[in-house]
Structure 1
Amino acid sequence: MALRFIGIDPNTGTGESPTVWVDDKTRDVIIQSWKADPELEAECAAFEVPGHAVGIPESEAVVRIPAHMAAILRKACDAADRSDLR
């Protein structure tokens, strides 16, 4: 796996560090961030739409991304979508 660093929360101190990468091989967007609070996780787990089972599989997690990181997420999505990485 070759992760390409895209960005980190500009408000990061020395401990918490919401961070975004792109896997150059699979073009997946990789996100490290805060775990969602139990109420938000429960709301996500109860959400029902076609193709989305109720609950959160053991292999998945609900994370919270700071809104001010939207530009970093767009940059990651653009990087993942670049045709020269395919």
Structure 2
Amino acid sequence: MALRFIGIDPETGDGNCPAVWVDETTEGGPELILQGWLADEGTQAECAKDSPKPDTEAVIRVPARMVPLIRKACDAAERSQLR
């Protein structure tokens, strides 16, 4: 697996923070990899009303200030699909 690092939360100071990568090697096409804060039980329960979560998934939070990084990751994933 070769992940392309896109960036971390721009307001971090110690490197342990939300981050974004793109995996361009997945069989079904590029995938975004997001690291975020684990959502609390109340948030997870609210999300489960719309989309129940299997054990292989997690509900995470990332700060809105990371939107530019997520857009950059989306653009990178789309470009690699066109190759």
Q: Same fold (TM over 0.5)?
A: yes
Q: Which 4+ stretches in 1 moved above 2 angstroms?
A: 83-86
Say yes or no: does 1:77 pair with 2:70. no
Q: What are the Cα deviations for residues 36-60 of structure 1, in whole angstroms up to 9, with x where unaligned?
A: 111111000112xxxx5xx210001
Q: Please give the residue correspondences for 1:25-36 in structure 2 after superposition, counting only pairs within 5 Å.
A: 25-26=25-26, 27-36=30-39
- 5+ residue gaps, structure 2, are none
CA contact (8 A) 1:7 1:72 kept: yes
Q: Please give the residue correspondences for 1:39-54 in structure 2 after superposition, counting only pairs within 5 Å.
A: 39-47=42-50, 52=51
Instruction: Output the amino acid matched with 1:67.
Output: A
The total of aligned residue pairs comes to 80
Instruction: Give the equivalent residue in structure 1 for 2:16.
Output: 16
CA contact (8 A) 2:24 2:80 kept: no
User: 1:15 and 1:8, CA in 2 relative to 1: closer, same or farther beyond 3 A?
Assistant: closer
CA shift for structure 1 position 15: 5.8
Q: Distance in 2 between matches of 1:76 and 1:15?
A: 19
Normalising by structure 1, we get a TM-score of: 0.83
Say yes or no: does 1:60 pair with 2:57. yes
Normalising by structure 2, we get a TM-score of: 0.86
